[in-house]
């Protein structure tokens, strides 16, 4: 199965502007998060990304051992990959729903 990202001209990256009165907030927020996730940037939106200038923090695992930065980075990559695939599935679902509504 091909999980390549659509081009930036895809509907996935077309986000309607937030209206002044905020009536489209739910749609705006979901589309924005899908676009961020599809580009592998969710760690910046959910706070997992850290500035490389900051001192290295130790990450305690469930077994109370300390995870290395390499382990943490690998996990972050897997989480980003999950969000990318999840965003693609959501986009395909929205396209299918729009198609069935327009019939």
pLDDT, tens digit, for every residue of 57-87? 556 667 777 777 788 888 888 888 888 888 8
Is pLDDT of 23 > 90? yes
pTM for the full model?
Answer: 0.55
What's the CA angle centered on 32, arms 29 and 33, to 5 degrees? Answer: 85
E strand or H helix at 59, and its extent? strand 59-60
Position 63 in a domain: no
What does the alpha-carbon distance between residue 88 and residue 6 come to, in Å, rounded to a whole number? 8
Count of structural domains within the chain: 1
Position 94 in a domain: yes
Q: What is the pLDDT of residue 1?
A: 41
Position 73 in a domain: yes
Q: Of 21, 57, 15, 55, which Cα lies nearest the Cα of 37?
A: 15
Tokens of 39: 């580009």
Position 8 in a domain: no
Tokens of 62: 């469930």
């Amino acid at each position: 199965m091909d999980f390549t990202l659509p081009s930036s001209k895809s509907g996935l990256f077309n986000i309607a502007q937030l209206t002044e009165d905020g009536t489209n907030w739910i749609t705006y927020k979901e589309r924005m998060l899908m676009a961020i996730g599809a580009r592998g940037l969710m760690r910046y939106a959910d706070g997992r990304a850290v500035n490389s200038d900051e001192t290295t923090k130790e990450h305690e695992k469930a077994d109370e051992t300390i995870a290395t930065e390499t382990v943490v980075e690998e996990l972050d990559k897997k989480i980003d990959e999950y969000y990318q695939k999840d965003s693609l599935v959501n986009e395909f679902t929205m396209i299918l729903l729009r198609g069935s509504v327009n019939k």
